[in-house]
């Protein structure tokens, strides 16, 4: 999950997106879903939720695993996948680069991500990050948590040395001391905490209110409204079940991802699974994130988040 720029992907991909969007429900044979090693989509895959719900259309589900949001949305932009879930930052970078994606549902983040430091580190407060090497995936929710943490501590982005690493690369770098702090999400957050003995400097809920999102290819959302609406409804039902069956959720996560049950139990117990519509409050929170990153020069232009919010037509 290296953060490749969307600008190159956006150019020359219009034909692929248009072709994907032209398929009508009766003609479509697959619903292509991108997922990571956590969350409702993993549970849905293990339980066959989408397969059952969309069988009425004769549609098969094709799953594609990603280790972070940026490459998932690159694939969505070019029409390689139709739907997926990410944290708050990937869609902002994508929209700023003109990607063909839309927000279709929202989900609050509780303590499933944060900033880790080695157990014996002299970093005790967020202010102690000044002058330190902080690792995270560029354009990910961890990028936003880092910026918010610095803001909370009264530090500038230039006060740290950002080290852009994918989760699989950041883990070893953190273990050997190549970075001083690691901003990351579950299950990697729990892996660092339990397997590497890391100390939680701050959880996301101690830093700021954040959200994650379900997104779709814009052409797909326009042309396949019924399929998309049914999929979101099925996932919302799965999320309601998950809130009350966390032990079973952990088993599902472990079976699908191959991550140890102990780790996924930690992740499941501190996750929020609820899925809902994009309220004005969620949109405003996301707009503030976009404005902050533009002000810092981390995205190339100002964006209006609301312009990328899917509004299904009333039948």
CB burial class (10 A; 0-12, 13-18, 19+) of residue 314? exposed
In the chain, the number of structural domains is 2
- Whether residue 117 is contained in a domain is answered as yes
Q: Assign residue 240 the CATH number of its domain.
A: 3.40.190.10
188 and 137 in contact (C-beta within 8 Å)? no
Same domain, 182 and 151: yes
Rounded CA-CA distance 176/138 in Å is: 21
Same domain, 301 and 224: yes
Rounded CA-CA distance 89/281 in Å is: 17
Q: Choose among 234, 211, 230, 217: nearest CA to 43.
A: 234
Distances 199 to 185, 248, 304 between C-alpha atoms, Å: 14, 27, 37
Rounded CA-CA distance 86/95 in Å is: 14
For the full predicted model, state whether its pTM sits above 0.95: no
Distances 97 to 39, 94, 104, 153, 300 between C-alpha atoms, Å: 26, 5, 19, 30, 8
Same domain, 225 and 94: yes
User: What residues pair up with 32 in beta bridges, in sequence order?
Assistant: 62
- Whether residue 313 is contained in a domain is answered as no
Same domain, 24 and 67: yes
Range of the domain at 203: 113-207
What are the pLDDT digits (tens) for 82-129?
Answer: 999 999 999 999 999 999 999 999 988 767 899 999 999 999 999 999
What are the pLDDT digits (tens) for 2-44?
Answer: 333 333 343 333 334 334 434 444 467 899 999 998 889 999 9
């Amino acid at each position: 999950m290296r953060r490749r720029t969307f600008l190159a992907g956006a150019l020359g991909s219009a034909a692929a997106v248009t072709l994907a969007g032209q398929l009508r429900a009766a003609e479509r044979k697959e619903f292509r879903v991108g997922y990571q090693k956590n969350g409702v989509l993993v549970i849905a895959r293990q339980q066959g939720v989408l397969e059952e719900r969309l069988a009425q259309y004769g549609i098969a589900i094709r799953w594609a695993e990603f280790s972070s949001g940026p490459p998932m949305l690159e694939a969505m932009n070019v029409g390689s996948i139709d739907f997926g879930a990410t944290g708050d930052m990937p869609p902002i970078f994508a929209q700023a680069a003109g990607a063909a994606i839309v927000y279709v549902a929202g989900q609050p983040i509780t303590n499933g991500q944060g900033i880790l430091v080695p157990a014996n580190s002299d970093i005790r407060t967020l202010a102690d990050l000044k002058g330190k090497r902080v690792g995270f995936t560029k354009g990910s929710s961890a990028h936003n948590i880092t910026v918010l943490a610095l803001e909370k501590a009264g530090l500038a982005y230039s006060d740290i040395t950002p080290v852009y690493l994918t989760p699989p690369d950041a883990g070893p770098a953190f273990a050997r001391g190549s970075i001083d702090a690691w901003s990351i999400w579950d299950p990697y957050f729990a892996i660092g905490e339990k397997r590497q003995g890391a100390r939680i400097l701050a959880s996301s809920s101690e830093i700021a209110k954040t959200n994650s999102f379900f997104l779709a290819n814009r052409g797909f959302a326009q042309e396949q409204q019924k399929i998309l609406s049914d999929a979101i409804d099925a996932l919302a039902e799965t999320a309601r079940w998950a809130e009350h069956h966390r032990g079973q959720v952990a088993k599902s996560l472990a079976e699908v991802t191959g991550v140890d049950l102990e780790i996924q139990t930690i992740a499941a117990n501190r996750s929020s699974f609820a899925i809902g519509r994009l309220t004005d409050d969620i949109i405003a929170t996301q707009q503030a994130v976009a404005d902050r990153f533009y002000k810092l020069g981390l995205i190339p232009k100002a964006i209006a988040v609301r312009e990328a919010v899917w509004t299904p037509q009333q039948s």
